[in-house]
C-alpha cells in the first residue's frame, strides 16, 4: 500500500521502519529537512519537506494515490487538519494521533465528521496496556483486536478443573458476558465451538470476557492467580489519570504520588476514590510510609525515564509487587531488558504498534466487503469485522434461530460504540459492526456466515 506519514518524530520513524518491513511504500512529510535527510539515509523512504497541512505538499506526496494517511505530528490540531485535507484530497483512510483529553472525549463526533478511520491517544493506549498487565495474570496470553475494543484471552484448562467435560450450552452458569471463541485440542486441532462442544482438561481455549470478571472466573477454574487489589502509581500525569480511572472502576484501590500541589488537587477532584499523596516519589521514607512493601503492583510514570527505572529497581528490592515502568525513549534496549524493572511501557511505541495493527487489518481486507481482518493464533484463525449496511437475511432474527456454517462464531456486536457479547436472544441490526471468528479463510460478506 502507499502510505503517507506526516511528522517524523519517534512515532513516525518507528512506524515508517516497521511498515517498510511489511513492504509498503512510505512517504514522509516533515518541516525539518535535516530530519528527513537522516531518516531517508537509514531506511528506504522518500521525504517531502514542508507543512503537512498544505494541500500542495500533500499532493506532492501523492495523496491522490495513497491508501492511508497517518498524522503523528506533535500537535493534535495539525493532525486533525492534515487528515481532513487528506480525506478530501485523496479519499484515503486517515489515522490521527489525538492526545488532548478534551478532543479525545469528543472523538466519536470528530471521527464521524472528519471521516477519520482511527484516532489514537497514546496516553490512553498506554493506560489500557498497563491495565491489562495488571489485571491479566502473567500465565495468560492476550490478543487485542477490533481497534483495541476486544480482548481475547488464551489459557489452558488445568487438570481437575470444573470445566473438564463441560458442555458449552451449560457454560451460562459461569455468568453472562462470557464467550468461548476458539478451542485448541491437545492434538492442536482448532475448533470454533458451538453449544454441543464439550471441553476437556488440557484444551487451550480463547475467551472474550470483560476484564473485571477475569479474576473471579479464573479462581473458579482453578487457575491460581495472584489477585491485584492495590496499586501504587508514582507520578500523576495523564497516563496516571487514565489508568487510575480504569483501575478504580475495576475495584482496585489506587494510590498516586504526585509532587505538584495543583496537580494533586486536580487529581483528587477528578478521582475522588483514589488516594492522592503529595510528595516526591523518589523519597524512600515517603514510599515506606505509604506502604510500598505491601503493594501488589507498582507503576512508575514520572516524566523522567531515569527516575522511573530507579524507582522500579527500588520497588523490586523492597517489595514483591508487580512492576511496570514507563520509558519514553527506549535506547540501550539490551541493557534495559536485563535489569529487573518489570514490564516496560513506551507510549510512543505503543502508538506505532496500534497503528501497524490497523494497517495490517486494512491490508487484509483490501478488495472485499470486509471492514477489517485480524489474524489470530499464528494466522490459523481469522476474526473478521463487517458493517451491516442494509436489511438482509441475517438482520432482525434472534441469533439462536440463525443457521450458520460450522466453524463460524459471531463473537461481538458493536452497536453505537458499545460492545455486546451476544447471546441467543440478541439480533443483528442495520448499522451494527459485527465481529465473527472463523477458521474458514476469505469471508467476503456477512451473508457468507449462513449455512
The interface region with other proteins, picked from 40-48, 280-288, 292-300, 408-416 by CB under 8 A, is 40-48
> Based on CB atoms, which residue is closest to other proteins, 28 or 171?
28
- Give the contacts of 191 (CB within 8 A, at least 6 positions apart): 182, 183, 184, 185, 197, 407
CB 363, min distance to other proteins, A? 16
> Based on CB atoms, which residue is closest to other proteins, 48 or 231?
48
Sketch the per residue contact string, 9 through 28, with other proteins: x for CB under 8 A, - otherwise: -----------x----xxx-
Signed CA dihedral, 432, 433, 437, 438: sign only: positive
**Is residue 41 part of the contact set for other proteins (CB under 8 A)?**
yes
The torsion angles phi and psi of 12, rounded to 5 degrees, stand at: -60, -45
Q: Give the H/E segment covering residue 350.
A: helix 347-364
> Based on CB atoms, which residue is closest to other proteins, 56 or 285?
56
CB 22, min distance to other proteins, A? 13
> Based on CB atoms, which residue is closest to other proteins, 44 or 187?
44
Report how far Cα 415 is from the mean position of its chain's Cα atoms. 19
Among 39, 82, 152, 274, binds other proteins (CB under 8 A): 39
Among 22, 42, 77, 400, binds other proteins (CB under 8 A): 42
> CA-to-CA distance for 309 and 290, rounded, in angstroms?
20
CB 62, min distance to other proteins, A? 8
> Based on CB atoms, which residue is closest to other proteins, 45 or 182?
45
> Contact 438/399 with Cβ under 8 angstroms?
no
**Is residue 373 part of the contact set for other proteins (CB under 8 A)?**
no
**Nearest alpha-carbon partner for 87 in 107, 110, 104, 105:** 110
> Contact 114/84 with Cβ under 8 angstroms?
yes
> CA-to-CA distance for 232 and 220, rounded, in angstroms?
27
**Is residue 338 part of the contact set for other proteins (CB under 8 A)?**
no
> Based on CB atoms, which residue is closest to other proteins, 2 or 255?
2
**Is residue 322 part of the contact set for other proteins (CB under 8 A)?**
no
> Based on CB atoms, which residue is closest to other proteins, 352 or 437?
352
Please, what is the end-to-end C-alpha distance for the chain in angstroms? 34
Among 33, 165, 216, 294, binds other proteins (CB under 8 A): 33
- Give the contacts of 45 (CB within 8 A, at least 6 positions apart): 16, 20, 26, 27, 28, 39
CB 74, min distance to other proteins, A? 23
CB 12, min distance to other proteins, A? 14
- Residue 134 C-alpha cell reads as 495488571
**Is residue 359 part of the contact set for other proteins (CB under 8 A)?**
no
> CA-to-CA distance for 74 and 92, rounded, in angstroms?
22
> CA-to-CA distance for 341 and 324, rounded, in angstroms?
7
CB 104, min distance to other proteins, A? 31
> CA-to-CA distance for 184 and 27, rounded, in angstroms?
42
**Is residue 43 part of the contact set for other proteins (CB under 8 A)?**
yes
Binding site for other proteins (CB under 8 A): 2, 20, 25-27, 33, 39-46, 60
Amino acid at each position: 500500500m502507499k502510505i503517507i506519514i506526516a511528522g517524523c518524530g519517534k512515532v513516525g520513524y518507528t512506524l515508517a521502519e516497521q511498515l517498510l518491513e511489511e513492504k509498503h511504500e512510505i512517504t514522509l512529510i516533515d518541516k525539518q529537512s535535516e530530519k528527513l535527510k537522516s531518516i531517508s539515509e537509514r531506511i528506504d523512504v522518500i521525504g517531502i519537506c514542508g507543512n503537512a497541512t498544505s494541500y500542495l505538499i500533500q499532493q506532492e506526496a501523492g495523496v491522490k494515490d495513497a491508501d492511508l494517511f497517518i498524522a503523528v505530528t506533535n500537535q493534535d490540531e495539525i493532525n486533525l487538519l492534515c487528515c481532513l485535507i487528506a480525506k478530501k484530497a485523496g479519499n484515503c483512510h486517515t489515522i490521527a494521533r489525538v492526545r488532548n483529553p478534551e478532543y479525545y472525549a469528543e472523538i466519536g463526533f470528530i471521527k464521524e465528521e472528519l471521516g477519520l478511520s482511527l484516532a489514537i491517544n497514546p496516553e490512553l493506549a498506554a493506560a489500557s496496556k498497563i491495565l491489562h498487565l495488571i489485571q491479566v495474570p502473567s500465565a495468560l496470553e492476550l490478543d487485542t483486536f477490533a481497534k483495541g475494543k476486544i480482548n481475547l484471552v488464551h489459557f489452558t484448562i488445568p487438570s481437575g478443573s470444573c470445566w473438564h467435560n463441560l458442555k458449552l450450552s451449560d457454560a451460562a452458569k459461569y455468568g453472562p458476558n462470557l464467550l468461548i471463541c476458539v478451542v485448541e485440542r491437545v492434538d492442536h486441532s482448532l475448533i470454533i465451538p458451538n453449544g454441543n462442544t464439550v471441553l476437556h482438561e488440557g484444551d487451550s481455549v480463547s475467551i472474550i470476557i470483560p476484564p473485571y470478571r477475569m479474576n473471579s472466573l479464573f479462581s473458579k477454574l482453578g487457575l491460581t492467580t495472584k489477585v491485584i487489589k492495590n496499586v501504587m502509581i508514582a507520578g500523576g500525569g495523564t497516563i496516571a489519570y487514565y489508568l487510575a480511572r480504569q483501575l478504580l472502576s475495576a475495584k482496585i484501590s489506587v494510590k498516586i504520588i504526585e509532587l505538584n500541589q495543583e496537580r494533586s488537587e486536580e487529581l483528587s477532584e477528578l478521582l475522588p476514590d483514589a488516594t492522592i499523596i503529595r510528595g516526591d516519589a523518589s523519597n524512600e521514607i515517603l514510599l515506606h510510609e505509604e506502604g510500598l512493601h505491601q503493594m501488589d503492583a507498582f507503576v512508575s510514570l514520572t516524566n523522567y525515564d531515569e527516575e522511573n527505572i530507579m524507582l522500579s529497581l527500588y520497588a523490586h528490592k523492597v517489595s514483591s509487587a508487580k512492576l511496570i515502568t514507563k520509558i519514553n525513549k527506549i535506547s540501550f534496549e539490551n541493557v534495559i531488558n536485563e535489569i529487573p524493572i518489570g514490564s516496560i511501557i513506551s507510549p510512543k511505541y505503543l502508538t506505532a504498534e496500534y497503528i501497524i495493527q490497523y494497517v495490517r487489518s486494512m491490508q487484509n481486507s483490501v478488495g472485499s466487503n470486509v471492514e477489517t481482518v485480524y489474524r489470530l493464533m499464528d494466522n490459523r484463525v481469522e476474526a473478521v469485522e463487517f458493517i451491516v449496511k442494509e436489511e438482509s437475511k441475517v438482520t432482525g432474527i434472534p441469533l439462536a434461530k440463525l443457521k450458520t456454517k460450522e466453524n463460524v462464531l459471531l463473537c461481538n456486536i458493536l452497536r453505537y460504540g458499545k460492545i455486546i457479547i451476544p447471546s441467543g436472544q440478541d439480533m443483528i441490526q442495520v448499522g451494527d459492526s459485527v465481529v465473527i471468528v472463523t477458521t474458514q479463510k476469505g469471508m467476503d460478506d456477512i451473508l457468507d456466515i449462513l449455512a
